[in-house]
A = this chain, B = another copy of it.
């Protein structure tokens, strides 16, 4: 668990209150900010993703972080490092994909949410492998910003987006398959939950917790539960997913641990009316998963042991 160890070192050195959520909320400026990177052979294989899709996905994963805060995604900068043999077509297609992701077109959107997100800067340099780092800025004005520490007993757990599709798509890609196309598309061209995130930020009047499921639904649930000091009781059968997913032997794992769906999961007051309720927040700690007629408890460590870690 070197990644977690490194993050703890960073927290110790910086003594910063900001480190922890998908976004940092900069109250004095009225914005949230997030930065995430995609590294060749760590987060993607060059032969399995097109330049367009890489540009699209790099942007969308950062838009997703802004959505998870409840803020309105507005601006992006992109740092792109490329091997010397990359040609100008790659750069053109990458930015066409990035631009496409900036116009998310979910419908219907809250008023004023339909405008494009803008790419406003960054840099381009050479490197041995492809490396993309995107910084996203969201407008927090008029929004109630989430924190993963804010789940409370009595709140309900709601999820938005389809869970497990991206994991299925990755499995198909790695096996050289091209069907069902919808799963591959879910992996290569995910859609951030702009509408759901906006509804939470605009409509919830008290504190609440929200995260995206970039590292998997169970990771998000476990993180919120442990950071907030509550037990989240989840009914597996209620988790929104594509029914065709059930053709895969490991479909339950895909839903719980697959990651990269860029859905949102939120622990919110009962009166909030959006997404699909998948559980409740109770006294206790961790996640109780009701699945196949049993209840399985997941401690923080149980979940960490299951999750892909970049430094393992």
**Chain A residues close to B by CB (< 8 Å):** 3, 5-7, 9-10, 12-14, 16, 18-19, 23-24, 26, 28-31, 33-37, 39, 41-43, 74-75, 77-79, 81, 84, 88, 91-92, 95-96, 99, 118-129, 131, 133, 135, 137, 139, 310-311
**In the bound complex, how far is the Cα of B33 from the Cα of A81, in angstroms?**
19
On whether the beta carbons of B92 and A133 are closer than 8 Å, the reply is: no
| Given contact pairs A35-B78, A35-B123, A42-B81, a sample of 9 additional A-B residue pairs in the complex whose CB atoms are under 8 Å apart | A3-B124, A14-B119, A18-B121, A24-B120, A33-B120, A36-B79, A37-B81, A37-B133, A39-B81
Which of B12, B16, B42, B135 makes the CB contact (< 8 A) with A119? Answer: B16
Enumerate chain B residues within 8 angstroms of A125, measured Cβ to Cβ: 3, 37, 39, 42-43, 310
Which of B13, B24, B96, B139 makes the CB contact (< 8 A) with A95? Answer: B13
Given A75-B33, A95-B10, A95-B14: A127 in contact with B121 (beta carbons within 8 A): no
Minimal beta-carbon separation of A27 from chain B (angstroms): 11
Enumerate chain B residues within 8 angstroms of A129, measured Cβ to Cβ: 127-129
On whether the beta carbons of A137 and B26 are closer than 8 Å, the reply is: yes
Enumerate chain B residues within 8 angstroms of A18, measured Cβ to Cβ: 118-121
Enumerate chain B residues within 8 angstroms of A43, measured Cβ to Cβ: 125
Enumerate chain B residues within 8 angstroms of A120, measured Cβ to Cβ: 16, 18-19, 24, 26, 33
**In the bound complex, how far is the Cα of B10 from the Cα of A78, in angstroms?**
11
**In the bound complex, how far is the Cα of B12 from the Cα of A96, in angstroms?**
10
On whether the beta carbons of A91 and B9 are closer than 8 Å, the reply is: yes
Enumerate chain B residues within 8 angstroms of A37, measured Cβ to Cβ: 79, 81, 123, 125, 131, 133
**In the bound complex, how far is the Cα of B83 from the Cα of A131, in angstroms?**
13
Enumerate chain B residues within 8 angstroms of A12, measured Cβ to Cβ: 92
